Every structure is written in structure tokens, then in C-alpha cells.
Amino acid sequence: MTMPDYQNLLFARSGPITTITLNRPEKHNALDRVLSDELNRAVRQVRGDRDCRILVLRGAGDTFCAGDDIAEFNTWGPEDPYWQVRLYQETVQIIEDLTPITVAAVDGVCTGGGLELTLVCDFVIATDRSRWGMPEIDWDITPGWGGTSRLPRFAGRRKAKEWNLIGALFDAATAERYDLVNRVVTPEDLTAEVEALCQVMLRKHPLTVRRTKFIMNKSADLHVSGALAFEVPIMPFSGTTGIAEFTDRDARARRRELSRDFWQDRGGKQNQEIPGRR
């Protein structure tokens, strides 16, 4: 696969793992027109890569993404906000629908469009110094990437209204408590934690991962009875590969060794397997 050239974005491929790094650290990786266009191109590149199994999104330096580059707004014409929001929404929808597992590695500032980017990722790992928020209201801007639609589905309407209408920042512990983050680590451990998650996911059967992600994404907006209908036609296909994998005791043991106690609290009670499911 040919590696594309970018001005404000780093695109790297290591085996089945692709890493996209927002690369404007001097601007807190704020999204100007160039970076917005490049991010859209980059996720399209990932969408067309059948060998990619994991996409990691991160920011250069000690910041994930501060959202829009507010200073650039002064150069916009009257129709530019409309087209920019359409581009943003297309980008996050592509990320949400990607076949590969998506992981956001968040350090430092994660606000506005940066926070909205994380909402469409499958996993979010953040440092304990990361700061989150939806401050657009103080710039007379309404969120356009999912801050008023996706965010309430994670945190509930009450908290999402608080964050959007007040615009206060909050810490990583709060983000984790309201399901915006899977795991909080020190800045020194962020890269290792992301790598550990990638290795766990790479041990799993790729088709089963893709099917499970597809079902969960497509059934999220459905009534339970409609969502269950997605599982019925896909299950027989899962069984074709799943039964063979299940009977391979060595492969199963290796996979379970990595997965069984993953992300359990250090020193806490280990996760107990359900009887009959070993």
C-alpha cells in the first residue's frame, strides 16, 4: 500500500495496525481546513485497506485535539461553516463505520471536535492529565460532530446539556465515569496500554470481530426486538469459523490468557470465568 503524503497529519502503517496522528502540536492539534481535509482523506484510505485491522487515532505532542481552529473562522465566507460541518460529519461517520477496530489515544486537551472524534471510536484510552469539554458555546458555536446527538447517548441528556451549555472542562476520571473513556493511565503508560489492547484484539478472529462490531453499531438505534434480528442471520456464519476455533484448545487458551483479566484493577479480585465457558 502506498503511503500518502500529508502536511498536518502523520499516517503510519505497522503490519495490521494503522496510526493517524494529528500533527499541529503548536496549535494543540486544532483542526484547520488543511488538517480537516487530510483527516477525511486518511480515514478513507483506511476504509479501502482490507489488511488493516486496527486504527489508532492520536495527537502529536501532549495534546489530542482542541477541536476547530477558531482563528481560521475569520477567513471563512458565509457558506463555509455549512460545508465544513458536512465534511466533519462525513469524517466521523466513516470512522464509526470502519471495519477495523478504532482506538483513540488521548493525552492533554480533548475538547470540542476532539471529544466528538472519540465518540465514534470503539475504544478510548486516556491519560490522567487529559482535559475534556465542549466549550463551543463561549465562542457562539453549536457542536456539529455529534456533541448534541452522540454525547447524550454516552453520558445521558442531563450531563450532556451541562457540558454543552456551560462549557466547563472536566478531568479524565469524570470522562471515565460517564463512559467516554475505557481506561485511564499515566502519560508514560499510554503507548504501552494502547499496544496491549491492540495485541489482545489481534488475537481474536477478524471476521468475528467485524461481525460483532457491525451488529452493535447497526443495532444501537433500534428497539431491542429489531436489534436481536441482526444477530439471527449472522450467527450461522459465525459458527462456521467459531466452532473450529472453539475446538482448538491451544489457540483458545492463548487468547483467553490475554483477554480474561485484561483491564482488571491492579491488585483487585480477578475476573471469574462463567462455569462451562472456559
Residue 273 known to be catalytic: no
**Residue 162, helix vs strand vs coil:** helix
* Cell 489482545 sits on residue: 200
What pLDDT does residue 266 have? Answer: 43
> Where exactly are the structural domains of the chain?
9-199, 205-257
**Residue 185, helix vs strand vs coil:** strand
Residue type, 162: E
* Cell 499515566 sits on residue: 186
Distance from C-alpha of 65 to C-alpha of 111, rounded to nearest angstrom: 7
**Average pLDDT, consecutive stretches of 10 residues, N- to C-terminus, the chain (278 residues):** 82 98 98 97 98 98 95 87 93 98 99 98 99 96 92 96 98 98 98 97 93 89 68 60 60 74 58 40
What pLDDT does residue 77 have? Answer: 87
Cα dist. 199→35, 186, 189, 230 in Å? Answer: 29, 20, 15, 28
Selecting among 136, 195, 245, 273, the annotated active-site residue is 136
Write b or e for each residue in 220-256: b if 16 or more Cβ atoms lie within 10 A of its Cβ, otherwise e: eeeeeeeeeebeeeeeeebeeeeeeeeeeeeeeeebe
> SS3 sequence, 20-58?
EEECCHHHCCCECHHHHHHHHHHHHHHHCCCCCCEEEEE
Query: Which CATH fold would you assign to the domain 9-199?
Result: 2-enoyl-CoA Hydratase; Chain A, domain 1 (3.90.226)
Q: With contact defined as beta carbons under 8 Å apart, do 100 and 54 qualify?
A: yes
Residues listed for the chain: 278
Residue 188 known to be catalytic: no
Selecting among 116, 195, 245, 273, the annotated active-site residue is 116
Distance from C-alpha of 123 to C-alpha of 181, rounded to nearest angstrom: 7
> SS3 sequence, 101-145?
EEEEEECCEEECHHHHHHCCCCEEEEECCCEEECHHHHHCCCCCC
Cα dist. 214→98, 184, 200, 233, 237 in Å? Answer: 9, 26, 19, 13, 14
* Cell 483477554 sits on residue: 259
Q: Which helix (H) or strand (E) holds 13?
A: strand 9-14
Query: 249: which 3 cell numbers?
Result: 484448545
- List for the chain the helix, strand, coil content (%; round to 5): 50, 15, 35
